């Protein structure tokens, strides 16, 4: 599973700290998600997608999916 969290965060001009506060997790969790070391729960994934006003699958991509890259 890959994700574009870093890209969306940059697009919305948010720091890791600000994003962490907005979705109610620690900064370490944001770092871990961005570096693909931690896969967020469905609830957190929806929270992130709601924050960026996009679909979950726009941010989180299954490995080998067509949208990847």
Partner 1 sequence: MNRKRYKQLRVLVAFFVGMIVSIAVAKGSYLLATAGVFTGILFMFLVRSRAKITTDERELSIQEKAARVTYSIFAPTLGIISFLLLLPAQGGFTVFSKGEWLFVESLGIVFAYLTLFLITLYAIVYYLFNKKYGGNGDE
* Contact flag: residue 42 with partner 1 (CB under 8 A): no
Q: How far is the CB of 20 from partner 1 (least distance, A)?
A: 8
Cβ-based nearer residue to partner 1, 33 or 52:
33
* Contact flag: residue 41 with partner 1 (CB under 8 A): yes
* DSSP symbols for the chain: -EE-HHHHHHHTT--HHHHHHHHTS-HHHHHHHHTTSSPPPHHHHHHHHHHHTS-HHHHEE-TT-TT--
Rule CB under 8 A: which residues touch partner 1?
Answer: 24-29, 32, 38, 40-41, 44
């Amino acid at each position: 599973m890959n994700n574009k969290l870093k890209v969306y965060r940059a697009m919305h001009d948010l720091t890791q700290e600000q994003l962490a506060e907005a979705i109610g997790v620690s900064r370490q969790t944001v770092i871990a998600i961005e570096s693909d070391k931690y896969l967020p729960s469905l609830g957190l994934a929806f929270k992130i997608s709601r924050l960026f006003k996009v679909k979950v699958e726009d941010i989180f991509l299954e490995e080998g999916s067509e949208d990847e890259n």
